[in-house]
């Protein structure tokens, strides 16, 4: 039986890169001259919006499912997710011939629910306001003998997500530059944990930051305090993909050692970043995937004369919401 609760390392990220070679897409790192002039530095956008399933989550999901033993594959897997991990697990399971059950909030964006079903997974919905996905998921896993694939606190998931960091370092090296700053969205912290492990090894001078929505800044506050804290109940955000209640145990153990801090953005700043991504990069980003770009565009860090990277972690936004946001003004 493989172990999911070990602490990842740069070597486990490198192993994931080998496993994913020819499977996951090497997503583009884009740059806009017009935006650079406006910012006074060089800003690169890592477009995981163009990854399989429209999100970086495919990386960790495939890396994990491909390592299950024959009995685990035959019995099937279960995952809980607001949508991007759901789709990553569903597609990976389809590619590997593994039955998949996905537990999703009933208010998940319709595009995420539809895509998960189209990949062949069985979808079960729950009410995120008064039901615990962890309790439901663990019960189903026990009752049906399924392997639970957690969305971030999983050795192979974090390692797979970290291949984003390897690609960023290699793509910048090909341009003969290195990043001063790298910012990535954080929900449970798997993407930023894996990415920071890779960058700490390959680009030691780069300062890496987590970006989060206002009222869901558990990683930022936990980093400042030195121990994990939870978000207060009763708040909402358009960033559905990253509104987790508290940092993951494994992920925070990494992030407290590798990150330079956490950045917090409002929904309005996130919307402005989505419009900027469309205007400057012709890139469609969902709200939760746009918070890193939002942090840089709104001046949470000084990028004057620096090289900065923002990870656009996902592009699975409902068309009606995206259309409404594009119509709004930044003024």
At 1 the pLDDT is 58
Q: Total domain count for the chain?
A: 2
For residues 187 and 311, membership in a common domain is answered with: yes
The CATH number for 118's domain is 3.40.50.1100
Q: Give the end of a domain, one of 137, 156, 175.
A: 156
Residues 6+ away with beta carbon under 8 Å from 18 = none
Residues 307 and 169 in one domain: yes
pLDDT in tens, 92-106: 999 999 999 999 999
Residue pair 218/230 in contact (Cβ under 8 Å)? The answer is yes
Residue with tokens 């709004």: 328
Residue 167, in any domain of the structure: yes
Residue 26 is assigned to a structural domain of this protein: yes
Q: Is residue 5 part of a domain?
A: no
82 pLDDT band, cuts 50/70/90, is confident
Position 3 in a domain? no
pLDDT beyond 60 at 291: yes
Kindly state whether residue 141 falls inside one of the protein's structural domains.
yes
Burial class (CB in 10 A: 0-12, 13-18, 19+), 75: middle
Which pLDDT does position 216 carry in this prediction?
Answer: 97
Range of the domain at 280: 10-55+158-327
Is the same domain home to 272 and 212?
Answer: yes
Could you say which of 108, 123, 156 is where a domain stops? 156
Collapsing DSSP to helix, strand or coil, 44 comes out as: strand
pLDDT at 330 over 70: no
Percent residues over pLDDT 90 in the chain: 92
Whether 18 shows a pLDDT value over 70: the answer reads yes
- Is the CA virtual torsion 60, 98, 149, 3 positive or negative? negative
What is the per-residue pLDDT for 83? 87
Tens digits of residue pLDDT in 192-202: 999 999 999 99
Band of the pLDDT at 2, cuts 50, 70, 90?
Answer: confident
Q: Kindly provide the residue ranges of all beta strands, DSSP E only, lying in 189-229, ordered along the sequence.
A: 207-213
Residues 114, 50, single domain; the answer is no
Are 178 and 254 in the same domain?
Answer: yes
Residues 96 and 209 occupy one common structural domain: no
Looking at the structure, tell me whether residues 183 and 309 fall in a common domain: yes
42-47 and 29-31 strand pairing: antiparallel
pLDDT per residue over 39-73, tens digit each?
Answer: 999 999 999 999 999 999 999 999 999 999 999 99
Q: What percent of the chain has pLDDT over 70?
A: 99
Whether pLDDT at 3 is above 90? no
130-169 b/e with 16+ CB inside 10 Å = b? eeebeeebeebbeeeebbbbbbbbbbbbbbbbbbbbbbbb
Among 113, 130, 156, where does a domain finish? 156
177 lies in the same domain as 130 = no
pLDDT at 109: 86
pLDDT in tens, 102-153: 999 998 888 899 999 999 999 999 998 888 999 999 999 999 999 999 999 9
- CB–CB of 159/166 below 8 Å? no
Helices 57-65 and 84-96 sit at what angle, rounded to 10 degrees? 40
Return the pLDDT at 331.
54
Helix intervals (H) in 179-248? 190-202, 218-225
179 and 294 belong to one structural domain: yes
Q: What is the pLDDT of residue 72?
A: 97
99 within a domain of the structure (yes/no): yes
> By mean pLDDT, which of 24-28, 238-242, 309-313 is the weakest?
238-242
pLDDT of residue 315: 97
**258 SS3 class:** helix
- Report whether pLDDT(159) > 80: yes
pLDDT digits (tens, 9 = 90+) for 167-194: 999 999 999 999 999 999 999 999 999 9
Quick one: average pLDDT of 272-286?
98
CB 82 within 8 A of CB 313: no
Q: Are residues 36 and 86 in the same domain?
A: no
Regarding whether 198 and 255 lie in a shared domain, the answer is: yes
What is the predicted pLDDT for the residue at 157? 98
> What's the mean per-residue pLDDT of the chain?
96
Tell me: do 39 and 107 sit in the same domain: no
3-state secondary structure of 109: coil
> Residue 1: inside a domain, yes or no?
no
């Amino acid at each position: 039986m493989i172990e999911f609760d070990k602490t990842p390392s740069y070597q486990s990220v490198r192993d994931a890169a080998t496993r994913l070679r020819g499977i996951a897409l090497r997503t583009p790192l884009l740059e806009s001259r017009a935006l650079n002039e406006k910012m006074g530095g060089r800003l690169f956008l890592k477009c995981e919006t163009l990854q399989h399933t429209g999100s970086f989550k495919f990386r960790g999901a495939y890396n994990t499912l491909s390592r299950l033993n024959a009995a685990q594959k035959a019995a099937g897997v279960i995952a809980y997710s607001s949508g991007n991990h759901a789709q990553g697990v569903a597609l990976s399971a389809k590619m590997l011939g593994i039955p998949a059950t996905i537990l999703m909030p009933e208010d998940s964006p319709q595009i995420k629910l539809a895509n998960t079903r189209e990949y062949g997974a069985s979808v079960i919905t729950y009410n995120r306001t008064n039901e615990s996905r962890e309790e439901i998921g663990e019960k189903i896993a026990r009752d049906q003998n399924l392997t639970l694939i957690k969305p971030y606190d999983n050795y192979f998931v974090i390692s797979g997500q970290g291949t984003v960091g390897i690609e960023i370092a290699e793509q910048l090296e090909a341009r003969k530059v290195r990043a001063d700053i790298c910012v990535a969205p954080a929900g449970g912290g798997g993407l930023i944990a894996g990415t920071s492990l890779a960058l700490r090894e390959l680009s030691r001078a780069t300062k890496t930051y987590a970006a989060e929505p206002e009222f869901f800044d558990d990683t930022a506050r936990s980093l400042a305090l030195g121990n994990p804290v939870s978000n207060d109940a009763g708040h909402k955000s358009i960033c559905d993909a990253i509104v987790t209640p508290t940092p993951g145990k494994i992920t925070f153990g990494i992030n407290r050692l590798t990150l330079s801090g956490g950045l917090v953005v409002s929904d309005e700043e996130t919307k402005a970043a989505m419009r900027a991504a469309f205007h400057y990069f012709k890139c469609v980003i969902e709200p939760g995937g746009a918070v890193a770009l939002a942090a840089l565009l709104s001046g949470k860090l000084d990028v004057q004369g620096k090289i900065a990277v923002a990870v656009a972690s996902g592009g699975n936004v409902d068309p009606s919401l995206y259309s409404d946001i594009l119509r709004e003004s930044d003024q």
